[in-house]
Amino acid sequence: MTKNTMTLTDNRNGKSYEYNIVDGTRGPSVVDISTFYKDSGMFTYDPGYTSTASCESKITFIDGENSELRYRGYDITDLAGKHSFLDVSYLLMRGKLPTPEASKNFDLEIRHRSFLHEGIIRLFDALPDGAHPMATMGAATMALAAFYKDHLHLEDEEQFKMMRRRILAKMPVIAAMAYRNSIGTPLIYPDVNRYFTENFLYMLRAYPGGKMKYLGDGVNDEIKQVEIDALDAILTLHADHEQNASTTTVRNVGSTEAHPYVAIASGISALWGSAHGGANEKVMDQLRLIGDVKNVPTYIAKAKDRNDPFRLMGFGHRVYKNRDPRAETLKGLQDKLKEELKLDSKLLDIAHAVEQAALSDDYFKERGLYPNIDFYSGVILTALRIPIAMFTPIFVIGRTPGWLAQWSELKQDPKHKIARPRQLYTGN
């Protein structure tokens, strides 16, 4: 009779240790080695946690070999562009899509919870001119813990819900005000008559008094529905991505019993890195470096040269060994925006040339180096006239419901412990 276990043998002394294999509903099974140190006196060694499952989760599933991404069992292609970002946020945090009535009520509450305490707004004035919006967002989110001290000790589900809805509503306001403060323009308060994503674009673009840019002849530069839909889809595609670096940071900080907004602020700090949430900024820097469509073959050749330090940004992914399913959706959005907004952007042309060159080159295909979400999101955000300094803050807005869902799941897990990995010591 077979057993659902794995036996590890120390070939130095012949001792064997048997551990249970735990099967999930999707994806690889895991070996429960939680008693391995107690049994053997050794640690496991896994830099970057490439083969380590740090938790049990019901939120997001990724199959990188088959280009699959699911939120709560729903394929990402059935959510992005087909359900609003707020409905997807509800799904992540509550475990199910809202009914039409619940969706309406959730949207209404988010609109009214979006306003910041004036003390937070005054905090912006204490920061230096030109501060990166990510630095300001981290500071403001951390400061929220001082204004909502009661969230440190949540006792029931209703308190959990209130905490999550509050920070979800305020994050785009913090982001927009952080940017406007960084460039010295007047802050724009939320408009409760506007949907979440439209409100964010409004707070970025509007003039005092709620006026949009005047184009002459009585015409204002109003926010177009296609722009709202595109940004809403980008937020949905960024909403969660399993146990990535920033989500793991949120969980690790949450495991210490820190304030939930402190855990979210820690996630913002982790996301800022160019190897994580800042990657789409690097894509745009690279397109500007290439400079012209005629230069694309030269840079493709440089990317293939092992002795050249140049690396093609926005291609390949740590998890996806084939196509990034989020990128497929964004590719369609990019084409739609180019047509409906009649875009004539040199950067878009360069991006298209890079994409075509890489997709037709065996070097990239053999290595599974396909365009990822960062390649398209940077181009689309540029088409939406989003300043490059706001690319990563938009990632934060999108990822917030995922972080909240992951934090809540951690807190409700009776088996959770404070994060405490060990090390292989090689010093004196």
Nearest to 231 by CA among 194, 198, 206: 198
Nearest to 271 by CA among 85, 141, 91, 119: 141
Maximum distance among all alpha carbons in the chain?
87
Cα–Cα dist 334/313, whole Å: 18
**87, 151, 317, 324: the active-site residue:** 317
Cα–Cα dist 294/375, whole Å: 19
Cα–Cα dist 427/33, whole Å: 26
Cα–Cα dist 211/205, whole Å: 9
317 is catalytic: yes
Residue 343 in tokens = 């875009």
Cα–Cα dist 228/241, whole Å: 22
Nearest to 337 by CA among 203, 224, 239: 224
Identify the bridge partners of residue 5 per DSSP, sorted by sequence position: 20
**229, 374, 413, 416: the active-site residue:** 374
Cα–Cα dist 329/81, whole Å: 8
Cα–Cα dist 407/81, whole Å: 26
Nearest to 160 by CA among 398, 415, 412, 413: 412
Active site residues: 317, 374
